Structure 1
Amino acid sequence: MSPAPVLVAGGTGFVGRRLVAALAEQGEDVRVMTRRPTSYSGPGVPVRGDVEQLASLESSLAGCRAAYYLVHSLDRPDFRAHDAAAARSFAQAAAASGVEQIIYLGGLGNDEDDLSSHLRSRREVEGLLGSTGVPVTVLRAGIIVGHGGISWEITRQLVEHLPAMITPRWVRTRTQPIAVDDVVGYLVGVLDRADALGRVFEVGGPDVLEYKEMLQRVAAVEGKSLLVVPVPLLSPALSSRWLALVTDVDVRSGRNLIDSMVNEVVVTDHSIADVVPLTPKGYDDAVRAALDERRREGR
């Protein structure tokens, strides 16, 4: 008898579409939750579902043994309230459907810090997903490096569009970037693991870098030179407008991400290695992989 299906909510997004492909490749019966199933053409079976419609969630989750939750809404002015409501509905539907594990991709950050609204929302979602009794496995990550990811696109476009930058102070904040393929490896690895149920794991690559160093290392990989001059005068609002001028990231999403860049996001708990013994690639290799994928797509 084959195992029950696995649902991926957010399966058409940056991480989700890669996760769906990886699960399908290892023989999983994957359901891809989307609001427009007739337009989906990737691996897995598309099912209609909308986090704003509880009935659609219950039908999407019916018969599933596990569900990945990769949903968030940075581009909305009320994203925190919207994400909380969506997580409550998903948790309710998962419990009603008998789901045995929810796997959620959240964000790194020390709870004792004054976390941004974006990171605080990720913490709220963690709790809400587990509020109906379904065991939740949380993977917390920082910057995810891969073609099409919003944080990576900000980095790449800044480097490629500007030979020099007068930047906000957040470029001195430390982070621990991770390649998108390694995030997917961890997400696949915790599925059906009894020792991952009800636990929070932190994941990151081997390099701990300031945002300034990340920008300069991308420039080096691309054979460019880059001058970065941090100044104390650029507010988050001005920073997001500055990003909108030199990248194709919209102002609201940029502002929400910039607000989080004041928080250090570094792995302090390495217990994921006991459950998923994966060796993540270094930052420069992750950058090369992202650039290679972009070239293959002719971008």
Structure 2
Amino acid sequence: MSSPTVLVTGATGFVGRRLVPELVERGIDVRAMTRHPERYDGPGTAVGADVGDEESLAAALAGVDVAIYLVHSLDHADFESRDADAARRFGRLAAEAGVRQIVYLGGLGREDEDLSPHLRSRREVEGLLGAGGVPVTVLRAAIVVGHGGISWELTRQLVKNLPAMVVPKWTATRTQPIAVDDVIRYLAGVIDLEGAIGQVLEIGGPEAMTYRDMLDIASDVTAGHPVPTVTVPVLTPRLSSYWLALVTDVDVTTGRNLIDSMSTEVVVTDNRIRTLVPGEPISYREAVRRALAERLREGDEV
């Protein structure tokens, strides 16, 4: 099979700006979809389109073999309806354009859990993307660790700005963070991969840990010692989001939507991806080191 034409939505975002160069390096014809193509200076072919605009989206999808969907609206209070509308539209237009595979980066969490609005929305998007008939490959991840990622920025800024923390009890919930480098490797690896077509696959780093463990390790890598923490029994998502807004630059709406998900355990229970896309995943500690090193290379303080 000849090299596919791949459309990457959100090409200038946290994941997209890393994925496009990787695909181009692999010899893939990449269309980098952005709302502002005139500002795009990365590899691939810049394509101006918006998931909310049917005409521009249809033009972007014309002639595409595989579409990688990296869109979400966590910074909007009505993100569930916005994301559902966008996914429904994208899936329908992808089918009309003859796209043969959609790849979507979703969220971990067991099907029988009472999922948060954020994770529930990710599940809904999975189904809506495929409603038009295009097979969807879903990669479900927990926290993605890398410079510029919202969840990682929360962690980094907390351990940087606070000498000690009062933390809510949900910090004892287990999660399975994954390095952004591994996310890129898996996204690229499932393109046109027969065993991944139409499959829901779970991706994660090598260790499951609590959010408190994540804070301790991040602090240890950054400052050479774990940050002192005191757990309190009651700190609602609303109060937690205001607390985050005081000590980080993440806005209240995004912070609350993320925090709502942190009482749900999100760990990998299905390791099929390790067979489909072989390779040893990066440890959380190493992912933190890489995120901090990239930040320094860009001239920012750790």
- TM-score range (shorter-chain normalised) is over 0.9
Give the structure 2 partner of residue 239 of structure 1.
240
Distance in 1 (alpha carbons) for counterparts of 2:95 and 2:226: 53
CA distance in 2, matches of 1:213, 1:228: 11
Q: What whole-Å deviation, never above 9, does each CA across 1:214-252 have from its counterpart, x for those lacking one?
A: 000111112134111111121110000000000000000
2:134 partner letter: V
Alignment of 1:244-259 (within 5 A): 244-259=245-260
Give the aligned partner of residue 185 of structure 2.
Answer: 185
Distance (whole Å) between structure 2 residues aligned to residue 80 and residue 2 of structure 1: 37
Deviation sequence 1:130-179 (CA, Å, 0-9, x none): 00110100000001000000000000000011111111111100000000
**Inter-partner Cα distance in structure 2 for 1:111 and 1:232:** 27
Superposition deviation, residue 273 in structure 1: 1.5
Give the alignment of 1:160-239 within 5 angstroms: 160-222=160-222, 223-239=224-240
Structure 2 Cα separation of the partners of residues 19 and 278 of structure 1 = 17
Residues 117-128 of structure 1 mapped to structure 2, 5 A cutoff = 117-128=117-128
Residue 291 of structure 1: aligned partner: 292
* Contact 1:9 1:32 (8 Å CA) reproduced: yes
Report the CA distance between 1:4 and its aligned residue: 4.0
Q: Aligned-pair distance for 1:3?
A: 3.2
Deviations 1:179-216 (A, max 9, x none): 00000000000001111111000000011110001000
What letter matches 2:139 in structure 1?
A: L
Distance 1:16 1:238 in 2: 32
Unaligned residue ranges in structure 2 (runs of 5+): none
Aligned length: 299
| Residue 113 (structure 1) aligns with | 113
The superposition leaves residues 82-140 of structure 1 with CA deviations (integer Å, 9 ceiling, x where unpaired) of 00000011001100110000000000001111100000000000000000110100000
SS of 1:103's partner is strand
SS in structure 2 of the partner of residue 105 of structure 1: strand
Aligned counterparts of 2:3 and 2:267: Cα–Cα separation in 1: 36
Return the alpha-carbon distance in structure 2 between the equivalents of residues 208 and 193 of structure 1. 27
Give the letter for the 1:286 counterpart.
A
Deviations 1:58-77 (A, max 9, x none): 10010011000000000001
Return the alpha-carbon distance in structure 2 between the equivalents of residues 169 and 141 of structure 1.
22
Q: CA deviation at 1:2?
A: 5.5
Alignment of 1:82-121 (within 5 A): 82-121=82-121
Distance 1:192 1:2, change over 3 A: closer
Which AA in structure 1 matches 2:282? K
Q: Distance in 1 between matches of 2:114 and 2:186?
A: 28
Secondary structure at the residue paired with 1:267?
coil
Q: CA, structure 1 residues 2+277, in 2 after alignment: closer, same or farther (shift >3 Å)? A: closer
- Structure 1 equivalent of residue 269 of structure 2: 268
8 Å contact kept, 2:150–2:250: yes
Matched with 2:79 is 79
Cα distance in 2 for partners of 1:286, 1:171 equals 20
Give, in angstroms, the shift of residue 27 of structure 1: 1.1
Percent sequence identity is 62
CA distance in 1, matches of 2:4, 2:35: 22
What is the alpha-carbon distance in structure 2 between the residues aligned to residue 79 and residue 200 of structure 1? Answer: 23
Matched to 1:121, the amino acid is S
* CA-to-aligned-CA distance 1:254-281 (integer Å, 9 cap, x gap): 0000000000000000111121012111
Distance 1:292 1:137 in 2: 32
3-state DSSP of counterpart to 1:261: helix
Instruction: Please name the residue that 2:28 is paired with.
Output: 28
Q: Is the 8 A contact 2:215 2:226 kept in 1?
A: no
Structure 1 match to 2:46: 46
> 1:4 touches 1:63 (CA, 8 Å); kept in 2?
no
Distance apart, 1:286 and its partner CA: 0.4
Stretches of structure 1 that go unaligned for 5 or more consecutive residues are: none
Q: CA RMSD in A?
A: 1.0
Q: Equivalents in 2 of 1:268, 1:132: separation in Å? A: 29
Alpha-carbon contact 1:66-1:100 (below 8 Å) kept: yes
* Distance in structure 2 (CA, Å) of the matches to 1:63 and 1:194: 20
Instruction: Indicate conservation of the 8 Å contact 2:3/2:27, yes or no.
Output: no
